[in-house]
Chains A and B, each alone.
Chain A
């Protein structure tokens, strides 16, 4: 397999700067609107889509991991989990919020990341407003009782145990911990098994009171943007307490020295290697070029196949997390399929080739088309789209963020790609997830 990777890299180098037909026209997302602006900077966005039978609301709240104190690992994830498990009324036998939504024909999902919480509600077009009213009611009247707490902790423990055995998740967590050294943003969203032993019900309640606030929040409605559904999105935002929370600054930790390696051991047959690099956020002038560079690296390192492969069949690849600020990009290699030293040499070769050769604009056009297509196909579903609209708006791109991203890709010139390569791919932090003794290949 490693020979194939080397051959692929060499073939790629030989290929450029061959001319390839560029995209005939830049695609454009339509029907994006700013519906309303509320106090504390909260905003409501929408994208009408007459073709869908269901609609969704993504509620973006600044209740991510960076709001938790250092001794409160896992509290952001626990609080979100408890919210779904809370009874909709303060009476014995009342259904939980999750069950009540399910019984009405809908779904509610909470997704915590480094700096925010996405709470996504979806229902049939005509049912969305009623179900949103339930969520708003629970947000305004939360019940942090002990039963809810115990159920949520049990659920999280199982999920954390499952994630712990995944070498890619482990490697990314190691990198993020080192990269976000001055806040908790790099901590695992659901915490660790040890975190969940220490955490108390009152911690979740205090976290809710502190961070589930309207300041910096937004709601994006996708699908049927009827007046009733818009009003429901607004009611969700108004159910949050006024004011804003701030990230908790972690003091005393220093950034890792360049070229530092972090090592962890798991019950796996072969090593995983991850190289983490800093990367630009969507507001940066470097963003479009980084997406194009990402497309180049994806093509060079991905396994060749006529059909598109699921990530589980990609032993080598990239993950560009541009929803965190600062952003990062990670190259990972599964050593059970690809010799990691060959992969790392291929990266070095590619970096030298791209940095030192004159790049033809037609060649860059090819990767601009790939970058645009990859970005759009990642937004095919309503929850993906709603979360992206919210995230980009909160990263400063406004309601038209999706089109701004496409424009940034379109504006990329060859020199931009080379600049970004030099600026961001110079010093990496390496994470090694190694087999325990006796597990090696």
Chain B
């Protein structure tokens, strides 16, 4: 009896959800891709959306993801173009209105723009009564970008200040040097923020990039937290008319990066000592291997529970550590960086720990580490922005069904974790991490130089 009542209730809810999103005319569905109660489907002008089941806090996260080359579509290379365009769109206001940035600030929300070499994410976290208006402004600002002089000026000011902070951030210096060393060409080779480049970029260049990059056809819209299907009616259609047809082949080519030799160590002048290691890893399509790489990063470098994290906290407490596997279409990247006094010793310890993983962990250690890994992944999804970031990242990288949180606790990602064995992890470590990594050393030196063995 109870079961039948629940089932009938679920059917009624599903029916009412579908009725409410009539404006998107039958394109949407409660799709098995993301699980019960989660709506997903095509946006009116291409691209797609995901809208999760509601939660009990009146907060809504609205995330817009794009797969775009941060350096532009060529032939000229502008490392900061993707970031400047995204920031400028958020800072530009329509006539007599507020910009997206101003609006989100005026309701006590938060706005962040994350720019990666091959993607951009714009995230607003707002009180749920403001979600409609925010979504209208978010989609209006990006689907029909109109960069104003004032918006570009504001964005340049913001990015110049950010560049100043980044100059003193060892994790940024290491990441930029590691990516520049792993790839010889393409977006992954370049830092996404360069103060000189920001200063040189002009309005027509930024506007042209924004119109091409932020078309709704490229968009993945994710709405999480306190949601309602009626929200989807707030999505603004694109008003930008471009006569140019962009070939899909050109667009894909602009996103490609060319891996290079990883045998040459790099030395980078910096205000404090530090160092980093990086390896190329599996593509996102190789789900089990990618999950094994995530497991390795978690087991060794989780910010609290990681084995190396805890060892360094005792032996080298002045060292700051950051290690992760970045899941990308092709190829993924495993990187680890340290900074502070004792970094050299820390890197050698890290190398040893990674090498040790080419042999299977003892069964009890492996099972505990796998349980901890599974918990860490699920804990990261507890906030609206954490869940939205998971859905957005994996959709943008072309594997939405692999996103942690898709299908709740019964996700493909969870199945992949369950399928991991100590032997499989060792095999993956042998395949991807046994070779010599790219080494980068941060040197407290004023002179810019490069060394080779």
Binding site for B on A (CB under 8 A): 20, 23-31, 47-54, 102-107, 122-125, 127, 158, 223, 295, 299, 303, 305-308, 313, 366, 369-377, 379-382, 385
Contact = CB atoms under 8 A, between A and B. Distances in A.
Given A103-B368, A307-B87, A370-B108, A53 B58 contact: no
Contact of B90 (A26, A50, A306): A306
A27 B54 CA distance: 14
A49 B56 contact: yes
Contact of B371 (A27, A104, A313, A372): A104
B111 A308 contact: yes
Interface in B203-236: 224-225
Contact of B87 (A124, A306, A313): A306
Contacts, number: 153
B374 A23 contact: no
B106 A20 contact: yes
A102 B372 contact: yes
B107 interface: yes
Contact of B109 (A30, A54, A377): A377
Given A103-B372, A370-B106, 10 more contacts: A27-B128, A27-B129, A51-B225, A54-B375, A305-B161, A306-B113, A307-B90, A366-B106, A372-B127, A377-B108
Given A53-B409, A158-B317, A370-B108, A376 B57 contact: yes
A53 B158 contact: no
Interface stretch (B277-285, B348-356, B377-385, B424-432): B377-385
Contacts of B110: 308, 377
Interface string B367-403: 0100110110011011111010000000000000000
Contacts of B106: 20, 366, 369-370
| B interface, size bucket | 35 or more
B191 interface: no
22 contacts: A23-B130, A24-B130, A29-B57, A29-B58, A30-B56, A53-B405, A53-B408, A53-B409, A104-B368, A107-B304, A123-B375, A124-B409, A127-B375, A305-B158, A306-B90, A306-B91, A306-B99, A306-B154, A306-B155, A307-B112, A369-B106, A380-B125
Given A305-B158, A307-B87, A23 B129 contact: yes
Contacts of B165: 313
Contact of A382 (B99, B111, B382, B385): B382
B182 interface: no
B50 interface: no
A7 B279 CA distance: 49
Given A307-B112, A377-B109, A377-B125, A105 B101 contact: no
B378 A54 contact: yes
B375 A106 contact: yes
B55 interface: yes
Contact of A52 (B105, B375, B382): B382
Interface in B34-79: 52-59
B305 interface: yes
B126 interface: yes
A49 B224 CA distance: 13
Contacts of A366: 106
A306 B147 CA distance: 14
Contacts of B313: 158
A418 B188 CA distance: 54
A53 B111 CA distance: 25
Contact of B379 (A27, A107, A380): A107
A375 B126 CA distance: 11
B55 A49 contact: yes
A306 B127 CA distance: 18
Contacts of B383: 380-381
Contacts of B109: 373, 377
A27 B158 contact: no
Contacts of B112: 307-308
B20 to A, nearest CB: 18
B168 to A, nearest CB: 11
